[in-house]
Amino acid sequence: MGATLGLPLLPLFLKERGGTPSMIGVVMASFFVAGLVTQFLVGHLSDRFGRRPVLIAGLVAYGLASVTYLLPVNAAWFAVSRAVQGAGAGAIEVASFAAVAALFPETERGRAVARIMAAQLLGMAIGPLLGSLVPLPQLGWAFFAAGMASLLASWRALHSDLGDDERTHEELPPVQWSRQLVGALVAAASIGLCIGVYESCWSLLMSNHHATTLEIRLSWTLFCLPWVFLSGVGGWLADHANRKVIAIFGLVNAAFFLSLYPHVHNNVVLIFLGPLESIGSALSTPSTSSLLSQGASSREMGRRQGLSTTANTAALAASAASAGVLFSINPALPFTVVAVASLACTLSLVFWWRRVRGRVAVA
């Protein structure tokens, strides 16, 4: 919620602080660059020293960096704030999902992952609408509120069981590389490719159709709502049905809708197509996430999650950077090109996962 509360207006906030278009681009990109650089490292640290210290450090870093948006400094300084936020957010995600994989048996892991995803998407659904109530000059207070929430969460994490292995003095086991793990990384990259286009071009596409800011914010909110209501069903499917089939279905579904959007010229239709895509994602993402950790030892969960988030962030950053250029040539181009690339990644999973056990429980 904290991210989507202020993020839609952050470029305008930076412009008010004297940021040029190129400087604003640097500030926005610093979040993803920091996450890309640090995510595998924090995964290694969580395997070596435990998930609790990594989660607490990530929450504190994100919280303190968010508070700095109240400082009366020019736009360039916020590149540091965004970088620290990106590193902190990466640590939070890696430690959280690694803890889920360690705490829950494989027959319950899909449902546990789904709960975290539902919480994330509920916050993302609320954030844009609450953000519309915050005037631009007061945007720093929105980030301040997010920072306070993060610091409070770090206090709660002090007293949480995160499934840490107490034998941290022992040498770490190596990551078990397999076709299953490679396939999970390809799936993470496929998802990142699609998200990158939305980050760069969704608002531009709707603006081309003369959408209001409220319609744009509403489109994000309605996309998130199916996750809140259906991710539990997706978690159940991950624990009782064939994870491979469900994961591949979800990725094909995402590529299909991505290719469809630029050919729809009615904003009302676009707003309600998003939730249809989201239904497929909500039902399939717990299966994709569960395949990442299936069969792995407890003390390699952090590095596996770090590899996955790195693959996802790298694909997202590359997609977002190229999508803007392609959009300037033709608004349909980034959606079509990335849909084809994402579909190619998805079809390769038939090879990577062909010998992977898809079911972990009897329905």
Kindly state the average pLDDT of the residues 92-97: 88
For residue 4 the two structure tokens come to: 């989507």
pTM more than 0.95: no
Mean pLDDT score of the chain = 86
Better-scored residue on pLDDT, 134 or 141: 141
Q: Is 70 in contact with 144 (CB distance < 8 Å)?
A: yes
Mean pLDDT to the nearest integer, 297-324 = 87
**E strand or H helix at 297:** none
Q: What is the pLDDT of residues 163-201, one digit of tens each?
A: 776 555 677 888 889 999 999 999 999 999 998 888 778
Render 205-227 in DSSP notation, one character per residue: HHHHTT--HHHHHHHHHHHHHHH
The beta strand positions in the chain, using DSSP E, are: none
244-291 pLDDT tens trace: 999 999 999 999 999 999 999 888 898 899 999 999 998 999 999 889
Residue 363 pLDDT exceeds 50: no
| Spatial distance between the Cα atoms of 281 and 179, rounded to a whole number of angstroms | 23
The lowest-confidence range among 14-23, 40-49, 183-192 is 14-23
Whether the CB-CB separation of 244 and 122 falls below 8 Å is answered with no
pLDDT of residue 132: 66
Residue 204's Cβ-count burial label (10 Å; 0-12, 13-18, 19+) is middle
Q: Please give the CATH architecture assigned to the domain spanning 2-160+175-352.
A: Up-down Bundle (1.20)
Per-residue tokens: 317: 């950053």
